[in-house]
Structure 1
Amino acid sequence: MFETRSRASRIVLQVLVTLMVLPFLFPLIVMVQGSLAGQGWENYRTVLSQPELPLFFRNSVIIALITIALVLAATMLAAFAFSKLWLRGREVFFWLLLAALTLPEVILLTPMFSISLQLGLYDTYLSVILPLAALQIPFTVLLARTFMNGIPDGLFEAARIDGATTWQSFLHVILPLTRPIAAAIVVLTLITTWNDYLLPLVFLQSPETQTITMLPQFFVGQFSNDQTKVLAAAVITALPEIIAYLCLQKLFERGLAAGALK
């Protein structure tokens, strides 16, 4: 950890950090203030009284949990293989996976839509879960592999000498040491999945499958545009991921710091 010994350097560092935080903090303050404008807390009561809210919340939870499970399982297995197993063409496959990071979600929208129709997945949870997981995996594999590279190979080799199989070594030696990066992956995937607006808008058409990001649309129509309730809905939508981050904050920060360094 870096330390600043002089008072002047601490003041400069504090001012610098404050200036860096302000561009991200200011929109949040404006959002909360706007949600309390007009009718005040009545805006929140109106949003919470929407009959579709529990259904949308349930759908978002289901999609987020399944996506996190898929991303976490695929990421840990792939990162373990890329980091600890000797495979022919390992680096080639790894860089091909990283090449997927250059493909934005909008460009892939048309082929994903066509595939979902052909497979009969349109307007189902899987039509959103599978693309979201696939778009997250390249980056999370990069983080997890870098983290696993910091785990001594001697631990893995010692387990193999003691008679453990590759699968047992992964489960009982490598996996318990990856909790920080796993927490970081969970938080990052949750934020991306919970906030995603484009894929649910395109692939989920029936109210029974739509997510909580569709909630603000109830207050914007052809003859109405109640921005105070839109902002209140945005605040309510953001609360679950904020709570999840606060619960996993320490592991999340440790995972990102370790995953960024080799």
Structure 2
Amino acid sequence: MLEARTWTGKATLQIIVTLITIPFLIPLIVMVQGSFAGQGWGNYAAVLSLPQLPSFFVNSAIISALTIAIALICTVLAAFGFAKLRIRGKEFFFWLLLAALTLPEIVLVTPLFVTATSTNLYNTYWAVVLPLAALQIPFTVLITRTFMNGIPDALIEAARIDGANTWRAFWHVVLPLTRPIAAAVIILTLISAWNAYLLPLIFLQDAGSQVVTQVPSFFQGQYNDDQTKVLASAVITAIPLIVAYLSLQKLFERGLSAGALK
């Protein structure tokens, strides 16, 4: 890892990082400023006064938690198999899994709708949770496999010499070392699940089962478009993601950097 040791190098690096960050900060600053336009804090009061808001947050939390659980379990197990186990044709299956990264969400709507209705999952959380987890798993397996490739095989061999089978070696040796990449998987999956808009809109038809991404629609319609309250709702719904990232920031950065480099 490159490190600036001189004062000039540190100052130059700080300037470069600041310049790179500015384009990403401008939309956030504009969003926060716009949310205070007009009525100021009244915009936030109007959003918080929506009677459906608590249930929307609960629905998003449930969908996000289930999606994270499924994605994390499948990712860790699949990455361990691809990285450490001798499986015939595993490279073929790995690249077949990565091919799913090329499929946009909108292309899958029709087959997912047919599947959901034929399996009686339509208008349930699972109609949203399962596709969200499936869409996230290929990328998370990619970075997790790279991370697990960095775990020395000698640790697993030592566990087997001590009498541990493959499952015990995974549970007691490999899994405790995956905390950084697990944090990265959790954050990435949380962002995807919490910000999901299309799938909940299509597969959750009951008004009480909608999610936080539907909150701005209360201030948009055929004859009204209150952008200040739309921006206020965007700020409010982003707060849980910010808190989650700050809580797992160190582990997330370690896991993502380790999972991106072989």
State the 1:2 CA deviation.
2.2
Q: Which residue of 2 aligns with 1:194?
A: 194
Runs of at least 4 residues off by over 6 Å: none
Once residues 235 and 51 of structure 1 are traced to their aligned partners in structure 2, the CA distance between those partners, rounded to angstroms, is 18
Distance in 2 (alpha carbons) for counterparts of 1:133 and 1:39? 39
Distance in 1, Cα, partners of 2:97 & 2:214: 32
Measure, in 1, the Cα distance between the counterparts of 2:17 and 2:158.
44
1:158-178 deviations in Å (ceiling 9; x for gaps) = 111111111111111000000
What corresponds to 1:236 in structure 2? 236
2:141 paired residue number: 141
TM-score by length of 1: 0.98
What TM-score results when the alignment is normalised by the length of structure 2?
0.98
1:195-215 deviations in Å (ceiling 9; x for gaps) = 111111111111121111101
SS of the equivalent of 2:106 reads coil
One-letter amino acid matched to 2:123? D
2:223 equivalent to 1:223: yes
Q: Distance in 1 between matches of 2:155 and 2:133?
A: 30
What is the match of residue 170 of structure 1? 170
Unaligned runs of 5+ in 1: none
Q: Which residue of 1 aligns with 2:161?
A: 161
Name the aligned partner's letter for residue 80 of structure 2.
Answer: F
Q: Unaligned stretches of 5+ in structure 2?
A: none
Match in the other structure for 2:128:
128
CA shift for structure 1 position 9: 3.3
Amino acid across the alignment from 1:21: T
Q: Tell me the CA shift for residue 106 of structure 1.
A: 1.1
| Mapped partners of 2:254, 2:6: distance in 1 | 27
Q: Which amino acid aligns with 1:214?
A: Q
**Corresponding letter in the other structure for 1:35:** S
Q: In the alignment, which residue of structure 2 is the partner of 1:38?
A: 38
CA distance in 2: counterparts of 1:218 and 1:74, whole angstroms = 36
CA offset digits 1:101-147 (Å, max 9, x no partner): 11111111111111111111111101100000000000000111100
Confirm or deny that 1:252 pairs with 2:241: no
| 2:116 maps to 1:116 | yes
How far residue 16 of structure 1 moved from its aligned partner, in angstroms, is 1.8
The alpha-carbon deviation at position 32 of structure 1 amounts to 0.4
**In the aligned structure 1, how far is the partner of 2:68 from the partner of 2:56?**
18
Report percent identity of matched pairs: 66
- Equivalent residue for 1:4? 4
Q: Give the corresponding residue for 1:98.
A: 98
